[in-house]
Each structure stands twice: as C-alpha cells, then as structure tokens.
C-alpha cells in the first residue's frame, strides 16, 4: 500500500484601502468557488517565497510585509478526494499593481469583497483563513 502524505499550500489575503479582500473565482479544480491567491509549495521553496510567487503568477500583484494569519487543514473533502492539505495563510501588508487574470485556465475573474459581504461559495481554506483572521487566532 502506497503511503499518502499531506500537501502544503499557501493563501494570501490582500486588503485594499477600503478593507475589501481580493478573491478569484475558480475554474479548476473547484469551479465556482472563490479563493485568495495561493497555491502549492514547491520543493526547496520557503512558504513566504511560495506566497509571493503564487500571488504574482495568479493575480499579477507584487506583495510584501507578509504576516501569518492562519494555519488550516482541509478536512471537508478528505474522505471524497483522498487528499489532505495544510494551508498556511498570510496577510499582505502591502501590494503593488492591479489584479489581472494571469491564469485564465484556473480563474474566471478577480473581485474585491467586503469582509461583511463575502461570496457564498468559497474554498474551505479561504473560509477558514477569514474565520481565523476575524477571530484573531492562527489555528
């Protein structure tokens, strides 16, 4: 029997001057769900490097002053998909540029949402990151 191991991902909460958070609407792997920019850690890369790289690759933004805001585990779909993800969530203190659709094979759009007016369908890691951020807890 092949051993399975958890995968490590990163997510980045970016807030604009109005306090709205940036989210993208997914095409794959979870169509119609909204999420923060982020993705999987590559071998030899730090989690901060992954957060910076993924945000640039997905939304075309340069981010800095990252602060740890959450550590989440994807459990809701584990029985169905057989996948286990641990996601490290960051809040970017600064960003440069305007969100652009850099990966049209993965996203349909980027949109700013108020923390009191979030989309109904969100990826679980993004949902948990927002919950932890609002509650002021990491895990």
Number of domains into which the chain is organized: 1
Do the domain assignments include residue 20? yes
Do the domain assignments include residue 123? yes
Query: Among the residues of the chain, which ranges form H helices?
Result: 47-59, 78-81, 124-135
**Banded model confidence at residue 54, pLDDT cuts 50, 70, 90:** very high
Do the domain assignments include residue 1? no
What CATH number is associated with residue 88?
A: 3.90.79.10
Quote the domain boundaries for residue 74.
7-135
pLDDT at 58: 98
d(CA 50, CA 42): 7
43-52 average pLDDT score = 98
Do the domain assignments include residue 72? yes
Higher pLDDT, 1 or 15: 15
Do the domain assignments include residue 18? yes
Of the candidates 124, 132, 40, 27, the residue with the CA atom closest to the CA atom of residue 76: 124
Do the domain assignments include residue 45? yes
Do the domain assignments include residue 2? no
Q: Tens digits of per-residue pLDDT, 58-112?
A: 999 999 999 999 999 876 566 656 788 899 999 999 999 999 999 999 999 999 9
């Amino acid at each position: 029997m092949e051993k399975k191991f958890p995968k490590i991902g990163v997510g980045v909460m970016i807030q604009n001057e109005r306090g709205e958070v940036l989210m993208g609407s997914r095409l794959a792997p979870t169509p119609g769900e909204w999420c923060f920019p982020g993705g999987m850690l590559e071998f030899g890369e730090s989690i901060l490097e992954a957060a910076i790289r993924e945000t640039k690759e997905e939304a075309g933004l340069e981010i800095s002053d990252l602060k740890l805001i959450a550590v989440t585990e994807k459990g809701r779909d584990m029985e169905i998909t057989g996948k286990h993800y641990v996601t490290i969530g960051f809040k970017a203190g600064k960003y440069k540029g305007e969100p652009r659709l850099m990966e049209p094979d993965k996203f349909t759009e980027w949109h700013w949402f108020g923390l009191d007016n979030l989309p109904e369908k969100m990826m679980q890691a993004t949902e948990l990151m927002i919950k932890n951020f609002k509650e002021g807890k990491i895990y």
